[in-house]
């Protein structure tokens, strides 16, 4: 009964398997070769993502940089590490991003608070939070020149920012000097990364936030409001200055020009009078009597119309003057002027 139920009746299972393999030896060899090739191929091929590069080493020594796509290596001899060399990476200081999105959430603890506390050049304390954006430009240096590049970058960034902030006042760090602080920090950090051969390129430094410590925020806000009020008053004063000073300068220039014109006019009139007098003097020397009479008549011609409606008579001729010849409003000889011309 047991023999009928055995899968290999008439012999042992192992012996029957050996017989089958010997019978189909060529097929077994081909199957083994194919299986071995598949195993070797799966161990030799590797994929590099579009934003990465592969760093290939042979027995621990740098061999080459491989581009994105399908690449090959020698199994058991070559090892490959992929690094995000074509991505923009960032390192955060003073805070950590918990959930990035439209409404990102951040966390701050005692360690991040120590990162952000800095002493300014005027011996005040400022809380500075910043982000370093960088990219891996030399994968070989990134992998082999510096041990733990990420921690090295954080140490260099923190030391650089503390050095730069220490050169500025707290007002400059928190308000008007922010861009200058960031640019100087970027330049210094780039130089340090080149010196230490980190294989990194610093693209920019972004200031997340800068503020005074919480215990002194109210006082700082009051000072800031006072400075803003001072700046507003200064701007108003300069605006009024720019309105009034040009106006006053224009009026002064106008008065100077009018005075100069008046001076020229008076000088020319004086010169004309002098020339006229000299001319009359020559005429008078040539004919004194005629010139004297002409001057008298010209003077009377100018003066009499200015005297109004009056009659001038000689004192001795008053008895023969008819009263009706006197102007209206002066009745009788009493309206006449005595003693000649007045």
Q: What is the pLDDT of residues 71-114, one digit of tens each?
A: 888 888 889 999 999 899 999 999 988 877 667 778 888 888 88
| Non-local CB neighbours of 17 within 8 Å, separated by 6+ positions | none
Going by DSSP bridges, is the β-strand pair 96-99/105-107 parallel, antiparallel, or unpaired? Answer: antiparallel
Minimum mean pLDDT among 57-66, 75-84, 116-125, 305-314: which range? Answer: 305-314
Neighbouring C-beta atoms of residue 162, cutoff 10 Å: 15
The answer to whether the CB of 94 falls within 8 A of the CB of 118 is no
User: Would you say residue 327 has pLDDT above 70?
Assistant: no
Percent of the chain with pLDDT over 70: 80
Supply the pLDDT for residue 100: 72
Higher pLDDT, 242 or 332: 242
Mean pLDDT (whole number) for 322-333: 47
- d(CA 29, CA 23) in angstroms, rounded, equals 12
Mean pLDDT, all residues of the chain: 82
Task: Give the pLDDT score at 210.
Answer: 78
Q: Is residue 20 pLDDT above 70, yes or no?
A: no
Whole-number pLDDT of residue 32: 73
Global pTM value? 0.57
Three-class secondary structure of residue 148 per DSSP: coil
**How far is the C-alpha of 113 from the C-alpha of 120, rounded, in Å?**
16
Range 89-212 has CATH code 3.30.565.10: no
pLDDT higher than threshold 60 for residue 211: yes
Confidence of residue 225 (pLDDT cuts 50, 70, 90): confident
> Which tops the pLDDT comparison, 13 or 5?
13
Evaluate if residue 256 carries a pLDDT over 60: yes
Lowest mean pLDDT among 36-40, 147-151, 307-311: 307-311
Q: Check residue 107 and give its pLDDT.
A: 86
Helix/strand/coil for 123? coil
pLDDT: which is higher, 331 or 158: 158
State the DSSP H helix or E strand holding residue 291, giving kind and residue range, or none if neither: helix 288-303
Does 5 score more than 60 pLDDT? no
Write down the pLDDT at residue 340.
44
- Tens-place pLDDT, residues 143-162: 999 989 999 999 999 999 99
Tokens of 260: 């100069």
Which range has the top average pLDDT, 235-244, 288-297, 312-321?
235-244
pLDDT mean over 208-216? 79
pLDDT digits (tens, 9 = 90+) for 154-206: 999 999 999 999 999 988 888 888 899 999 999 999 999 999 999 999 999 99
> What pLDDT sits at residue 170?
86
Instruction: Name the band, by pLDDT with cuts 50, 70 and 90, for residue 258.
Output: very high
Those residues whose C-beta lies under 8 Å from the C-beta of residue 207, and which sit 6 or more positions away, are: 128, 129, 130, 178, 181, 182
Rounded-to-integer distance, Cα 23 and Cα 93, Å: 72
pLDDT of residue 311: 63
């Amino acid at each position: 009964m047991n023999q009928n139920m055995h899968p290999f009746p008439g012999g042992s299972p192992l012996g029957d398997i050996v017989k089958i393999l010997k019978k189909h030896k060529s097929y077994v060899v081909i199957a083994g070769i194919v299986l071995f090739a598949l195993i070797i191929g799966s161990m030799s091929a590797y994929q590099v993502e579009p934003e990465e590069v592969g760093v290939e080493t042979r027995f621990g020594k740098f061999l080459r940089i491989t581009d994105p796509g399908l690449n090959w290596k020698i199994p058991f001899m070559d090892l490959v590490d992929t690094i995000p060399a074509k991505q923009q990476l960032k390192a955060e200081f003073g805070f950590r991003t918990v959930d990035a999105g439209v409404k990102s959430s951040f966390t701050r603890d005692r360690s991040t608070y120590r990162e952000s506390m800095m002493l300014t050049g005027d011996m005040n304390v400022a809380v500075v939070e910043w982000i370093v954006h960088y990219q891996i430009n030399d994968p070989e240096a990134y992998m082999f020149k510096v041990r733990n590049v990420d921690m090295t970058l954080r140490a260099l960034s923190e030391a650089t920012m503390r050095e730069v902030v220490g050169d500025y006042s707290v007002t400059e760090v928190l308000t008007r000097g922010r861009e200058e602080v960031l640019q100087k920090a970027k330049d210094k950090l780039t130089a340090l990364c080149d010196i230490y051969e980190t294989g990194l390129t610093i693209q920019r430094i972004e200031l997340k936030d800068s503020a005074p410590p919480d215990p002194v925020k109210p006082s700082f806000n009051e000072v800031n409001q006072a400075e803003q009020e001072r700046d507003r008053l200064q701007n108003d004063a300069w605006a009024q200055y720019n309105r009034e000073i040009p106006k006053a300068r224009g009026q002064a220039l106008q008065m100077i020009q009018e005075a100069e014109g008046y001076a020229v006019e008076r000088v020319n009139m004086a010169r004309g009078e002098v020339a006229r007098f000299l001319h009359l003097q020559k005429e008078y020397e040539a004919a004194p009597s005629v010139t004297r009479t002409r001057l008298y008549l010209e003077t009377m011609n100018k003066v009499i119309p200015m005297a109004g409606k009056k009659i001038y008579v000689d004192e001795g001729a008053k008895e023969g003057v008819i009263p009706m010849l006197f102007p209206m409003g002066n009745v009788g000889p009493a309206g006449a002027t005595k003693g000649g011309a007045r």
